[in-house]
Every structure is written in structure tokens, then in C-alpha cells.
Amino acid sequence: MEDHLRFSVCFWHTFKATGADPFGVATLQRPWDSASDPIQKAKDTLDAAFEFFQKLGVKFWTFHDRDISPEGATYDESRQNLSDLANYAKAHMDRTGVQLLWGTANLFSHPRYQSGAATNPNPDVFAWAAAQVKNALEITHRLNGAGYTFWGGREGFDTLLNTRMKQERAQLAELLRMAVNHGQKIGFKGNFYIEPKPKEPTTHQYDSDVASCLNFLREFDLLKDFKLNLETNHATLAGHSMLHEMQLARTADALGSLDANTGDELIGWDTDQFPTSIYLTTQMMLEVLDMGGISPGGLNFDAKVRRQSHEPIDLFYAHIGGIDTFARGLKIAYKIQQDGRLAEFVRDRYKGWILPFGEKILTGQRTMEDCEDHVRRHGEPTLASGRQEFLENLINEFL
């Protein structure tokens, strides 16, 4: 169970939203309401966060650098702020046993990143992004994080009229390569992740879905260094199902971690809702079981309660409900796996490819002339039903 369901809570959505946006405030206590010092507010928020983690019983958490630490007037001041707050978080981690699943840098909120970070047309902005990633990676390593994630942010374009796509993609690859090299230099042993996202805030992002990410990583010889952190709402925004994205990543040995959220398919943007569909989580857990577990990655609650769910207890309803939804999905997926009928049907459907003729096609031992000769000898192929309705109802038997 532990290797299949490693839940973490994302600091960004649960604890960062404040002020006029009441739907994301963690208010177990509200010690920061009277605090005017941004560092003290950050410490108070970390206090509430780890109280929340303990009450939930989760063993992992995640963060963006700007979630836990305010930006300073200079880079060095920002760097020192993050270092100090990381020490404060480390004390909480040592006290509670809550571990860091992954960290990341916020390369999208500041106005300097309005035209991208790594993909910015200005190399001075690239340097800022690289320095910020360096610092966030070092902090992640200091906190013994199991991974480091790149969320694309604004790494894309609004119009091709002012964009050199080839150069911007090369710039992005270079930042990723720098991060890998620096990770090796400082002894970081965790996974590096990319989180695909098709759009919003830009019209198009270079890491738009699993296929585009895999192609990008192969093109720049980075596939050996990166795995993917997948999110359901990003999959649907890209026009795919989460099952499609997970299976594509898994079969490329690139599925690394999951954002445990979902979205409203009637809304064309990233709503980051908590998962409640057991059908969805069952499909997801079938993929996790097929790969033997997702550790050292996990299921990260990169989600927020709805705008009208503004009371502290709503955070508990949302997170506990999401955990239960995935736990039930895992139990159901295990029963489906043990039952064996689904896997047996798929094996039988492709059995021709393990017979001599099919096997030799896959291993490059047959030519077009061989295929033509096969057709002449065997005539029209016998077609078998895909049994879609049967299989969909087979899944329903276990729900």
C-alpha cells in the first residue's frame, strides 16, 4: 500500500492563497492575520501547514519556493529568505516526520517572467530563472526531497509572430540540462520531473502533453534524466484522458509522479478540483499497479477547495475525501487485477503478435513482399470484436 499511495499536500494551493481569494486559506488557526512582517507571516503559515499535515496523517508535502518564502528586494535577499524559511520547515519536518516529496521554483508569477523563464527572449531573464532553480534545487536537496519538478509556467507563446520556437525550445533544454548537471554536482539523488500542461496562462506551451514532452526529451537527449509528473486536468485540457497520458508515459518508462486532482470538463481552464470519481482513480491505480508502484513519486494534492467552501473544515473534507477516493480506486484496481479477465482479454486480442509471423514483423525480419505473400496465402483476415461494452461493464462489476 505504501509504495502505491504516497500522498503529499501541495503547499501552493492549500496554504498560499490569501486576501480576496478565500477559497485556499488554511485556517486551523489564523496567527498571521495580525502579523505585518512577511517573514513572520511565512513562519505562521508553515506552523499551520504542518499542523494540518499532522491532523491529516500524510507523510509528505511539496512546495514552490515562493510558497514558503517571500521574494526580497534583491536576489540575494530572496535567497536568504528561502534559506531561513527552509530551516524553519526542516525543524517542523524533524519534529513531525513529514518528508518532502518534491520542491520546485515559481517561474511564472513575477512580472519578469511574463514572456517565459527559460524560453524568454531576454538572456538576463534566463539567468534569473537559472539562479532561482539553482537555489530551489539546493533547498530541495537540503530538505532531502525525493524529487524536483519543473512546471512549465509560461514556457510557451501567445503568438508565433514574435517567437523563435526552435531557439526557445533549445533554451528550455539547456536550463533542464543545467539543473541535472548541478544536481549531480551537489549530490542530489532524487528524480527530476516535468509536468505537462497544454495552455493557460499562454496560448500554447511547449510541454503540452505526454507525447510532446517525450518527443522534446528524446530530441535533446534528456529522457534518461527526466520523468513526468501528470495531472488529470492538464490531460483533459490537452484533449486526452488521464488513462491515455499515464499509459503513454508508463510504456515509455517515464511515469514518475501524479497530481491528485481533477477538473470540470465543461470549463476550459485548470480548475484544480479534488478528485471524487472512483472510476477515474480506479483507472489510474490500474496503471500504477501495472508498473509495480509509483515510489519514489507519489500522489500530490495540487488542488484547492471551491470558492464557496471557505471554512477550515472544508479543507479536511476535501483532502480526506480525495485520499479515500484514491484508496478505494487502488483496492478496486487490485481486485480487477487479481480477477484477471481484463488482462486476459487484452492478451488474447494481441496473441497474433506472439506467433511466428507477427513476432518476425515486430523484430524487423519481414518485408513488404513477405506481407504480400502472407495475404495471398491466407486471404481475408478474421476480425474479432473489441468488446468495448463488455469491458466497460466488467469494470462496473467491481465499483
User: Catalytic residue numbers?
Assistant: 64, 67
Q: Which amino acid is at 8?
A: S
Answer yes or no: are the C-beta atoms of 223 and 176 closer than 8 Å: no
Say whether 192 sits in a helix, a strand or coil. Answer: strand
CB atoms within 10 A of CB 236: 20
Convert 251-274 to b/e letters by CB count within 10 Å (16 or more is b): ebebbbbbbbbbbeeeeeebbbbb
Q: Residue 359 and residue 362: Cα distance in Å, rounded?
A: 5
The strand pair at 147-151 and 156-157 is best described as unpaired
- 302: cell is 495540487
Q: Is 86 within 8 Å of 142 (Cβ atoms)?
A: yes
- Give dist(CA 134, CA 279) in Å, integer: 40
Pick from 135, 38, 47: which is nearest to 88 by CA? 47
Burial class (CB in 10 A: 0-12, 13-18, 19+), 54: middle
| Cβ atoms 132, 65 nearer than 8 A | yes
Give the separation between CA 135 and CA 78, rounded to whole angstroms: 10
d(C-alpha 290, C-alpha 275), whole Å: 21
Q: How far apart are CA 388 and CA 399, in angstroms?
A: 17
Give CA–CA dist 203/246, Å, rounded.
24
What's the rounded Cα separation, in Å, for the pair 309 and 114? 31
> Which DSSP letter does residue 204 get?
E
Contact 200, 269 (CB under 8 A): yes
Cell of 102: 518534491
The three three-digit cell numbers of residue 55, written as one number: 491532523
